[in-house]
Amino acid sequence: MLIRVVLLTVVFVCIVRSNELIAQDIHFSQIEYAPLNLNPGLSGAHSVIQTNINYRSQWSSVTTAFNTIGVSIDGRLNETSTNKKGIIAAGLNLFSDASGTNSVSTTKVNLNLAYHLLVNSNSKIGLGLYSGFGQRSIGISNAQWGSQYLNGSYDSNYGTAEAIQNNQFIYFDAGAGAVYTYNSSDRYINQNKQRMLNAGLAVYHVNRPIYSFINANNEQLQMRWSGFINGVIEVQNSKGALAPGLYWNKQGPSSQIMYGSYFRISMVEASKYTGRIKAFIYHIGLFHRWNDAIIIKNILEWHTLSVGFSYDVNVSSLSRSSNLRGGFELFLKYALQSKHISRSRIN
Protein backbone atom coordinates (compact mmCIF):
# COMPACT_ATOMS: atom_id res chain seq x y z
CA MET A 1 0.00 0.00 0.00
CA LEU A 2 2.83 2.41 0.85
CA ILE A 3 4.42 1.79 -2.56
CA ARG A 4 1.07 2.48 -4.22
CA VAL A 5 0.73 5.83 -2.41
CA VAL A 6 4.29 6.89 -3.34
CA LEU A 7 3.87 5.95 -7.01
CA LEU A 8 0.53 7.73 -7.32
CA THR A 9 1.99 10.83 -5.68
CA VAL A 10 4.99 10.90 -8.08
CA VAL A 11 2.74 10.51 -11.11
CA PHE A 12 0.41 13.22 -9.83
CA VAL A 13 3.27 15.70 -9.36
CA CYS A 14 4.59 15.01 -12.87
CA ILE A 15 1.16 15.67 -14.38
CA VAL A 16 0.28 18.89 -12.61
CA ARG A 17 3.54 20.72 -11.99
CA SER A 18 3.72 24.06 -13.81
CA ASN A 19 4.39 27.70 -12.93
CA GLU A 20 2.66 27.70 -9.56
CA LEU A 21 0.89 30.96 -8.74
CA ILE A 22 -1.91 31.90 -6.40
CA ALA A 23 -5.32 30.99 -7.84
CA GLN A 24 -8.26 33.42 -7.96
CA ASP A 25 -10.57 31.43 -5.68
CA ILE A 26 -10.26 31.42 -1.91
CA HIS A 27 -7.87 28.89 -0.46
CA PHE A 28 -7.38 27.34 2.93
CA SER A 29 -4.07 25.94 4.12
CA GLN A 30 -6.09 23.29 5.97
CA ILE A 31 -8.02 22.52 2.79
CA GLU A 32 -8.64 18.91 3.82
CA TYR A 33 -10.86 20.32 6.57
CA ALA A 34 -12.85 22.44 4.10
CA PRO A 35 -13.84 19.38 2.04
CA LEU A 36 -16.54 20.85 -0.18
CA ASN A 37 -14.11 23.55 -1.38
CA LEU A 38 -11.74 20.72 -2.29
CA ASN A 39 -14.13 18.39 -4.11
CA PRO A 40 -17.96 18.23 -4.16
CA GLY A 41 -17.64 14.45 -4.33
CA LEU A 42 -16.46 14.45 -0.70
CA SER A 43 -20.04 14.96 0.47
CA GLY A 44 -20.79 11.94 2.67
CA ALA A 45 -17.50 10.26 1.78
CA HIS A 46 -16.13 9.79 5.29
CA SER A 47 -18.88 10.43 7.84
CA VAL A 48 -22.57 9.89 8.45
CA ILE A 49 -22.76 13.61 9.11
CA GLN A 50 -19.97 16.18 9.15
CA THR A 51 -19.80 19.89 9.93
CA ASN A 52 -16.75 22.10 9.33
CA ILE A 53 -16.18 25.73 10.30
CA ASN A 54 -13.07 27.45 8.91
CA TYR A 55 -11.58 30.89 9.48
CA ARG A 56 -8.53 32.38 7.74
CA SER A 57 -6.83 35.77 8.07
CA GLN A 58 -3.79 36.74 6.00
CA TRP A 59 -1.55 39.63 4.94
CA SER A 60 -2.34 41.78 7.99
CA SER A 61 1.40 42.61 8.14
CA VAL A 62 1.29 44.08 4.60
CA THR A 63 -2.15 45.64 4.15
CA THR A 64 -5.70 45.43 5.46
CA ALA A 65 -6.20 41.79 6.38
CA PHE A 66 -7.90 39.40 3.97
CA ASN A 67 -10.47 37.43 6.00
CA THR A 68 -12.34 34.30 4.97
CA ILE A 69 -14.91 32.25 6.85
CA GLY A 70 -16.42 29.03 5.56
CA VAL A 71 -19.11 26.68 6.89
CA SER A 72 -20.12 23.34 5.43
CA ILE A 73 -22.33 20.44 6.44
CA ASP A 74 -22.72 17.16 4.59
CA GLY A 75 -24.25 13.80 5.37
CA ARG A 76 -25.56 10.48 4.12
CA LEU A 77 -29.22 10.17 3.22
CA ASN A 78 -29.52 6.36 3.19
CA GLU A 79 -27.25 5.38 6.09
CA THR A 80 -29.90 3.19 7.73
CA SER A 81 -30.66 1.26 4.55
CA THR A 82 -29.59 -2.39 4.56
CA ASN A 83 -27.83 -4.18 1.68
CA LYS A 84 -27.25 -0.90 -0.09
CA LYS A 85 -24.89 -0.83 -3.06
CA GLY A 86 -24.03 2.82 -2.67
CA ILE A 87 -24.18 5.89 -0.46
CA ILE A 88 -26.42 8.83 -1.34
CA ALA A 89 -25.25 12.09 0.25
CA ALA A 90 -26.00 15.80 0.23
CA GLY A 91 -24.19 18.88 1.45
CA LEU A 92 -24.43 22.62 1.97
CA ASN A 93 -21.37 24.82 1.55
CA LEU A 94 -21.10 28.55 2.15
CA PHE A 95 -18.30 31.05 2.62
CA SER A 96 -17.72 34.76 2.89
CA ASP A 97 -14.48 36.42 1.87
CA ALA A 98 -13.50 40.08 2.36
CA SER A 99 -10.19 41.37 1.01
CA GLY A 100 -8.26 44.59 1.07
CA THR A 101 -8.90 48.22 1.88
CA ASN A 102 -11.72 48.49 -0.64
CA SER A 103 -13.61 45.54 0.89
CA VAL A 104 -13.87 43.41 -2.23
CA SER A 105 -16.10 40.67 -0.87
CA THR A 106 -17.55 37.42 -2.15
CA THR A 107 -20.34 35.39 -0.56
CA LYS A 108 -21.37 31.99 -1.92
CA VAL A 109 -23.95 29.33 -1.09
CA ASN A 110 -23.78 25.94 -2.83
CA LEU A 111 -25.86 22.77 -2.61
CA ASN A 112 -24.13 19.42 -3.18
CA LEU A 113 -25.40 15.99 -4.19
CA ALA A 114 -23.16 12.91 -4.31
CA TYR A 115 -23.30 9.16 -4.86
CA HIS A 116 -20.62 6.71 -3.70
CA LEU A 117 -20.53 3.25 -5.24
CA LEU A 118 -19.35 0.58 -2.78
CA VAL A 119 -16.85 -1.33 -4.90
CA ASN A 120 -15.98 -3.79 -2.12
CA SER A 121 -15.55 -3.87 1.67
CA ASN A 122 -12.58 -1.48 1.49
CA SER A 123 -13.16 0.77 -1.52
CA LYS A 124 -15.68 3.18 -2.93
CA ILE A 125 -15.90 5.55 -5.89
CA GLY A 126 -17.92 8.74 -5.62
CA LEU A 127 -19.27 11.42 -7.93
CA GLY A 128 -20.54 14.77 -6.69
CA LEU A 129 -22.26 17.79 -8.24
CA TYR A 130 -22.82 21.27 -6.88
CA SER A 131 -24.76 24.35 -7.91
CA GLY A 132 -25.47 27.61 -6.19
CA PHE A 133 -25.23 31.38 -6.24
CA GLY A 134 -22.55 33.90 -5.42
CA GLN A 135 -22.61 37.61 -4.66
CA ARG A 136 -19.64 39.88 -5.26
CA SER A 137 -19.37 43.48 -4.05
CA ILE A 138 -16.84 46.28 -3.72
CA GLY A 139 -16.70 49.33 -1.49
CA ILE A 140 -15.19 52.20 -3.47
CA SER A 141 -15.48 54.99 -0.90
CA ASN A 142 -11.88 54.40 0.23
CA ALA A 143 -10.48 53.63 -3.22
CA GLN A 144 -7.44 55.48 -4.52
CA TRP A 145 -6.79 55.51 -8.28
CA GLY A 146 -3.64 56.16 -10.27
CA SER A 147 -5.15 59.28 -11.86
CA GLN A 148 -5.44 60.82 -8.36
CA TYR A 149 -1.67 60.92 -7.91
CA LEU A 150 0.32 63.90 -9.18
CA ASN A 151 4.10 63.95 -8.83
CA GLY A 152 3.83 61.10 -6.37
CA SER A 153 1.27 62.82 -4.11
CA TYR A 154 -2.33 61.70 -3.66
CA ASP A 155 -5.18 64.22 -3.92
CA SER A 156 -8.78 63.00 -3.54
CA ASN A 157 -10.02 66.06 -5.43
CA TYR A 158 -8.63 64.72 -8.69
CA GLY A 159 -11.28 62.97 -10.74
CA THR A 160 -11.11 59.37 -11.91
CA ALA A 161 -11.95 57.70 -15.17
CA GLU A 162 -12.95 54.39 -13.60
CA ALA A 163 -16.18 53.01 -15.05
CA ILE A 164 -17.55 50.96 -12.16
CA GLN A 165 -21.19 50.50 -13.11
CA ASN A 166 -22.20 47.90 -10.52
CA ASN A 167 -20.69 47.75 -7.07
CA GLN A 168 -22.35 44.37 -6.52
CA PHE A 169 -23.82 41.54 -8.59
CA ILE A 170 -25.11 37.97 -8.26
CA TYR A 171 -24.05 35.00 -10.40
CA PHE A 172 -24.90 31.31 -10.80
CA ASP A 173 -22.18 28.70 -10.29
CA ALA A 174 -21.86 24.94 -10.86
CA GLY A 175 -19.27 22.17 -10.89
CA ALA A 176 -18.54 18.48 -10.34
CA GLY A 177 -15.97 16.14 -8.84
CA ALA A 178 -15.01 12.47 -8.50
CA VAL A 179 -13.26 10.76 -5.57
CA TYR A 180 -11.80 7.34 -4.78
CA THR A 181 -11.33 6.01 -1.25
CA TYR A 182 -9.50 2.92 -0.03
CA ASN A 183 -9.56 2.18 3.71
CA SER A 184 -8.27 -0.95 5.40
CA SER A 185 -8.81 0.26 8.97
CA ASP A 186 -10.72 -1.65 11.62
CA ARG A 187 -11.18 0.71 14.53
CA TYR A 188 -12.26 -2.09 16.83
CA ILE A 189 -8.78 -3.65 16.65
CA ASN A 190 -6.30 -0.77 16.74
CA GLN A 191 -6.73 2.80 15.56
CA ASN A 192 -3.23 2.93 14.11
CA LYS A 193 -3.56 -0.30 12.16
CA GLN A 194 -4.82 1.74 9.25
CA ARG A 195 -3.89 2.23 5.63
CA MET A 196 -5.99 4.70 3.75
CA LEU A 197 -5.77 6.29 0.32
CA ASN A 198 -8.03 9.09 -0.84
CA ALA A 199 -7.80 10.80 -4.25
CA GLY A 200 -9.99 13.07 -6.30
CA LEU A 201 -10.32 15.48 -9.19
CA ALA A 202 -12.93 18.25 -9.48
CA VAL A 203 -13.80 21.21 -11.65
CA TYR A 204 -15.45 24.38 -10.33
CA HIS A 205 -17.23 27.20 -12.26
CA VAL A 206 -17.95 25.04 -15.34
CA ASN A 207 -20.47 27.64 -16.54
CA ARG A 208 -17.83 30.43 -16.50
CA PRO A 209 -20.06 33.13 -14.88
CA ILE A 210 -19.61 36.81 -15.67
CA TYR A 211 -17.38 38.26 -12.97
CA SER A 212 -17.12 41.99 -13.61
CA PHE A 213 -18.07 45.24 -11.89
CA ILE A 214 -18.17 47.10 -15.23
CA ASN A 215 -20.54 44.86 -17.23
CA ALA A 216 -17.67 43.46 -19.26
CA ASN A 217 -19.07 40.27 -20.79
CA ASN A 218 -15.58 39.06 -21.64
CA GLU A 219 -14.54 39.01 -17.96
CA GLN A 220 -15.55 35.56 -16.77
CA LEU A 221 -14.66 33.55 -13.70
CA GLN A 222 -12.13 30.97 -14.87
CA MET A 223 -12.78 27.28 -14.27
CA ARG A 224 -10.80 25.92 -11.35
CA TRP A 225 -9.39 22.39 -11.45
CA SER A 226 -8.79 20.83 -8.04
CA GLY A 227 -6.89 17.59 -7.48
CA PHE A 228 -5.65 15.84 -4.37
CA ILE A 229 -4.09 12.67 -3.02
CA ASN A 230 -3.81 11.98 0.69
CA GLY A 231 -3.61 8.97 2.94
CA VAL A 232 -2.72 7.40 6.26
CA ILE A 233 0.18 4.99 6.72
CA GLU A 234 0.73 3.20 10.01
CA VAL A 235 4.11 3.33 11.73
CA GLN A 236 4.85 -0.22 12.83
CA ASN A 237 5.15 -0.98 16.56
CA SER A 238 4.18 2.54 17.62
CA LYS A 239 1.20 4.71 18.45
CA GLY A 240 1.90 6.89 15.44
CA ALA A 241 0.93 7.14 11.80
CA LEU A 242 1.92 9.32 8.85
CA ALA A 243 -0.73 11.22 6.94
CA PRO A 244 0.84 12.68 3.76
CA GLY A 245 -1.07 14.87 1.35
CA LEU A 246 -0.73 16.60 -2.01
CA TYR A 247 -3.17 19.32 -3.16
CA TRP A 248 -3.24 21.08 -6.52
CA ASN A 249 -5.38 23.87 -7.97
CA LYS A 250 -5.28 25.43 -11.41
CA GLN A 251 -7.43 28.39 -12.40
CA GLY A 252 -6.79 30.05 -15.74
CA PRO A 253 -3.06 30.83 -16.02
CA SER A 254 -2.51 30.43 -12.28
CA SER A 255 -1.79 27.25 -10.39
CA GLN A 256 -0.94 26.24 -6.86
CA ILE A 257 0.52 23.14 -5.30
CA MET A 258 0.78 22.23 -1.60
CA TYR A 259 2.36 19.09 -0.17
CA GLY A 260 3.55 17.73 3.14
CA SER A 261 2.57 15.34 5.90
CA TYR A 262 1.07 15.08 9.35
CA PHE A 263 2.42 12.83 12.06
CA ARG A 264 -0.51 11.45 14.02
CA ILE A 265 -0.04 10.29 17.63
CA SER A 266 -2.71 8.26 19.41
CA MET A 267 -2.62 9.69 22.92
CA VAL A 268 -5.57 7.64 24.21
CA GLU A 269 -6.96 4.51 22.55
CA ALA A 270 -10.74 4.17 22.44
CA SER A 271 -12.19 1.25 24.39
CA LYS A 272 -12.81 -1.65 22.03
CA TYR A 273 -16.16 -2.90 23.31
CA THR A 274 -17.81 -0.56 25.84
CA GLY A 275 -17.09 2.70 24.00
CA ARG A 276 -16.77 4.50 27.33
CA ILE A 277 -13.21 5.67 26.62
CA LYS A 278 -13.02 7.98 23.61
CA ALA A 279 -10.03 8.26 21.32
CA PHE A 280 -7.75 11.28 21.73
CA ILE A 281 -5.34 11.93 18.85
CA TYR A 282 -2.81 14.71 18.23
CA HIS A 283 -1.65 15.64 14.73
CA ILE A 284 1.33 17.84 13.90
CA GLY A 285 2.00 18.69 10.27
CA LEU A 286 4.53 20.47 8.09
CA PHE A 287 3.48 21.49 4.56
CA HIS A 288 4.89 23.64 1.76
CA ARG A 289 2.88 25.75 -0.66
CA TRP A 290 5.11 26.13 -3.70
CA ASN A 291 6.75 29.56 -4.06
CA ASP A 292 4.65 30.92 -1.21
CA ALA A 293 4.79 29.54 2.34
CA ILE A 294 5.85 26.94 4.87
CA ILE A 295 2.76 25.84 6.80
CA ILE A 296 2.81 24.52 10.37
CA LYS A 297 -0.36 22.64 11.37
CA ASN A 298 -1.65 21.33 14.70
CA ILE A 299 -4.83 19.32 15.30
CA LEU A 300 -6.46 17.86 18.40
CA GLU A 301 -9.04 15.15 17.76
CA TRP A 302 -11.30 13.80 20.49
CA HIS A 303 -14.00 11.32 19.50
CA THR A 304 -16.32 13.24 17.14
CA LEU A 305 -14.70 16.66 17.58
CA SER A 306 -11.55 18.09 16.00
CA VAL A 307 -9.99 21.52 16.34
CA GLY A 308 -7.01 22.76 14.37
CA PHE A 309 -4.67 25.72 14.02
CA SER A 310 -2.18 26.48 11.26
CA TYR A 311 0.20 29.30 10.46
CA ASP A 312 1.74 30.27 7.11
CA VAL A 313 5.34 31.41 7.22
CA ASN A 314 5.66 33.46 4.04
CA VAL A 315 8.83 32.59 2.07
CA SER A 316 7.93 34.21 -1.28
CA SER A 317 9.39 37.45 -2.65
CA LEU A 318 6.77 39.27 -0.56
CA SER A 319 8.57 38.14 2.62
CA ARG A 320 10.62 41.39 2.56
CA SER A 321 7.40 43.29 3.28
CA SER A 322 5.55 40.64 5.28
CA ASN A 323 8.51 39.79 7.56
CA LEU A 324 7.69 36.11 6.93
CA ARG A 325 4.16 36.58 8.31
CA GLY A 326 1.57 35.09 5.97
CA GLY A 327 -1.67 34.09 7.67
CA PHE A 328 -3.28 31.91 10.28
CA GLU A 329 -6.25 29.58 10.24
CA LEU A 330 -8.60 27.95 12.70
CA PHE A 331 -11.08 25.16 12.11
CA LEU A 332 -13.63 23.20 14.12
CA LYS A 333 -15.01 19.90 12.90
CA TYR A 334 -17.75 17.55 14.09
CA ALA A 335 -17.94 14.14 12.41
CA LEU A 336 -20.25 11.28 13.34
CA GLN A 337 -18.96 7.92 12.14
CA SER A 338 -21.06 4.95 11.10
CA LYS A 339 -22.19 2.51 13.77
CA HIS A 340 -21.69 -0.22 11.21
CA ILE A 341 -18.03 0.55 10.59
CA SER A 342 -16.79 -2.83 11.90
CA ARG A 343 -19.01 -4.57 9.38
CA SER A 344 -18.55 -2.37 6.34
CA ARG A 345 -14.95 -1.28 7.11
CA ILE A 346 -15.61 1.91 5.17
CA ASN A 347 -15.79 5.27 6.92
Any domain includes 260: yes
Please report, for the domain that includes residue 230, its CATH number: 2.40.160.40
- DSSP conformation letters of 229-292: EEEEEE-TTSSEEEEEEEEEEEETTEEEEEEEEEEEEEEEPPPSSS--SPPEEEEEEEEEETTT
Give the pLDDT confidence score for residue 145 in this predicted structure: 57
pLDDT tens, position by position, 209-261: 987 776 656 678 899 999 999 999 988 888 899 999 999 999 988 899 999 99
**Distance, first Cα to last Cα, the chain:** 18
Distance (Å, whole) CA 107 – CA 110: 10
pLDDT tens, position by position, 94-130: 999 887 655 678 899 999 999 999 999 889 999 999 9
Any domain includes 148: no
pLDDT tens, position by position, 174-201: 999 999 999 875 443 445 556 899 999 9
Which has the higher per-residue pLDDT, 30 or 344? 30
Phi/psi at 65 (nearest 5 deg)?
Answer: -60, 145
7 burial (CB, 10 Å; 0-12 / 13-18 / 19+) is exposed
Could you tell me which residues come within 8 angstroms of residue 231 by beta carbon, excluding any fewer than 6 positions away?
5, 195, 196, 197, 198, 243, 244, 245
Give the pLDDT confidence score for residue 217 in this predicted structure: 64
Question: What secondary structure letter does DSSP report for 5?
Answer: H
Lowest mean pLDDT among 44-48, 66-70, 124-128, 158-162: 158-162
Which residue segment(s) compose the domain that 184 sits in? 2-141+163-344
Domain count, the chain: 1
Any domain includes 151: no
Any domain includes 329: yes
Any domain includes 39: yes
Give the pLDDT confidence score for residue 17 in this predicted structure: 41
Q: Give yes or no for residue 334 having a pLDDT over 60.
A: yes
Tell me the average pLDDT across 32-43. Answer: 96
When pLDDT is cut at 50, 70 and 90, the band that residue 80 belongs to is confident
Distance (Å, whole) CA 298 – CA 64: 26
Largest Cα–Cα separation, the chain: 77
pTM assigned to the model: 0.81
pLDDT tens, position by position, 261-311: 999 998 887 766 556 778 899 999 999 999 889 999 999 999 899 999 999
